[in-house]
Amino acid sequence: MAPILQRHDMAMSAIAAYDGGMRDIETILVLTGAGISAESGLATFRGPDGLWEGHRVEEICTPQALARNPALVQNFYDMRRAALARVVPNAAHHALARLDAEWPGELLIVTQNVDDLHERAGARRMLHMHGELKSALCRECGGRVRWEGTLADGPACPLCGGKGGLRPDIVFFGEMPYQMERIEEALAGADLFVSIGTSGAVYPAAGFVQTARYHGAQTLELNLDPSAGSHFFHESRVGPAGLLVPEWVGDMLGDRVTDAG
């Protein structure tokens, strides 16, 4: 097996070929959205039959909606949590987990998704900026607990015992995304920013490409359709993540160079 250093050099030559510039890529920041989980059978938000098709965002995904109609909101997220048991990670999730395991430089996967498919594929260098379906947040003690079951029936908080205080640990519209400081740091230090399966409709994530470019990063988009922010990227590849992501990861890890070896 080729020593890490050598493989890294191979990856570099692949990158040089890709952007035509002699630019060293050590630090990669990957942003993912609902599109990366579409081929696993999870609905996106704004596509045909998207999650927001049947619901108005204001009715479901705001703190006001939770206060106004807790049963509707809690049932919506209970349904999505239960659906996770019926899906598995796809080739794109597995490819990113491979990159996580084999990339010798810095890597951070920032997902807007609240599903657990990245982790189930084995990704570790990652964070959920919009929360997780399998986590509950207690409005009484502020604590977070891993959660597999339902919340609509108002279970007691395992930490403080408070009843009815648990809500989905999801960042609602109007709330601050999680770990923004860490994300800003990673954006400032990225040599390569890659966006996968997101429409570029929701900020602050939709602005990451501009921030990364401002700090000098190369930027690449992998998406089924051109997104609202495609024109900000150095390169935008159109197609299903299940094909584009394994191909891109293979390039980064020098598969083609090794094969040509």
Q: Which amino acids are annotated catalytic? A: 130
Interacting residue with ligand APR among 25, 29, 30, 34 (CB under 6 A): 34
39 among the known binding-site residues? yes
Task: Give the distance, in angstroms, between the CA of residue 202 and the centroid of all CA atoms in the same chain.
Answer: 13
48 among the known binding-site residues? yes
Collapsing DSSP to helix, strand or coil, 176 comes out as: coil
| Cβ pair 29, 110 in contact under 8 A | yes
Interacting residue with ligand APR among 25, 29, 31, 39 (CB under 6 A): 39
Interacting residue with ligand APR among 11, 38, 109, 190 (CB under 6 A): 38
Q: Is the peptide bond before 70 cis (omega within 30 degrees of 0)?
A: no
* Number of residues that make up the chain: 261
Does residue 197 interact with ligand APR by CB under 6 A?
A: yes
69 among the known binding-site residues? no
What is the closest distance, in whole angstroms, from the C-beta atom of residue 218 to ligand APR in the complex?
20
Query: What mask of x and - would describe binding to ligand APR in positions 137 to 176, judged by CB under 6 A?
Result: ----------------------------------------
The DSSP call for residue 31 is: E
Does residue 219 interact with ligand APR by CB under 6 A?
A: no
3-state secondary structure 86-140: HCCCCHHHHHHHHHHHHCCCCEEEEECCCCCHHHHHCCCCEEECCEEEEEEEECC
What is the closest distance, in whole angstroms, from the C-beta atom of residue 183 to ligand APR in the complex?
14
Separation CA 233–CA 210 (nearest Å): 8
Binding site for ligand APR (CB under 6 A): 33-35, 38-39, 44-47, 50, 112, 130, 197-199, 201-202, 223-225, 227, 240-241
